[in-house]
């Protein structure tokens, strides 16, 4: 029997939260401080914002069966949405001029530790 749409959405929402928690844990073990989870703006949402020193990561978290599937799941529209939200977040920072930024992805794969992929895409020049 097929799942009801509401139950399916709820399951995906829980899976997303679990994936973001695992991704945040992996980044913290690498020395990053998590500044925001599910940061929402009028332009879109960023799954995680992390910082180590003056480097700020805007992280998209993807839970997929393989790393290739996770990387292919980031569409061009997602990149623009994340960039716009990142710009809004950066403008609100007092030390904006000192910060470097990077767009990363953390792939949450079955039965594996999350895979951190740096520079999954590059922001506007």
pLDDT band at 18 (very low <50, low <70, confident <90, very high): confident
Which pLDDT score is estimated for 7?
82
Which pLDDT score is estimated for 125?
44
Average pLDDT of the segment spanning 11-32? 89
- DSSP characters over 44-99: -EEEEEEEETTEEEEEEEEE-SSHHHHHHT--HHHHHHHHHHHHHHHHT-TTGGG-
Q: Are 58 and 46 in contact (CB under 8 A)?
A: yes
Which pLDDT score is estimated for 124?
59
Domain spanning 5-121, CATH architecture: 3-Layer(aba) Sandwich (3.40)
Average pLDDT of the segment spanning 33-56? 95
Radius of gyration, CA atoms only, the chain: 15
């Amino acid at each position: 029997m097929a799942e009801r749409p509401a139950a399916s959405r709820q399951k995906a929402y829980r899976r997303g939260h679990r994936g973001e928690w695992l991704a945040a844990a992996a980044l913290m073990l690498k020395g990053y401080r998590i500044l925001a989870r599910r940061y929402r703006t009028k332009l879109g949402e960023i799954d995680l914002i992390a910082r180590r020193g003056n480097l700020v990561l805007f992280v998209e978290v993807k839970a997929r069966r393989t790393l290739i599937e996770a990387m292919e799941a980031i569409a061009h529209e997602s990149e623009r949405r994340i960039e716009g939200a990142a710009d809004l977040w950066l403008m609100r920072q007092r030390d904006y001029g000192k910060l470097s930024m990077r767009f990363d992805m953390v792939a949450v794969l079955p039965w594996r530790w999350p895979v951190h992929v740096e520079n999954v895409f590059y922001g506007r020049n």
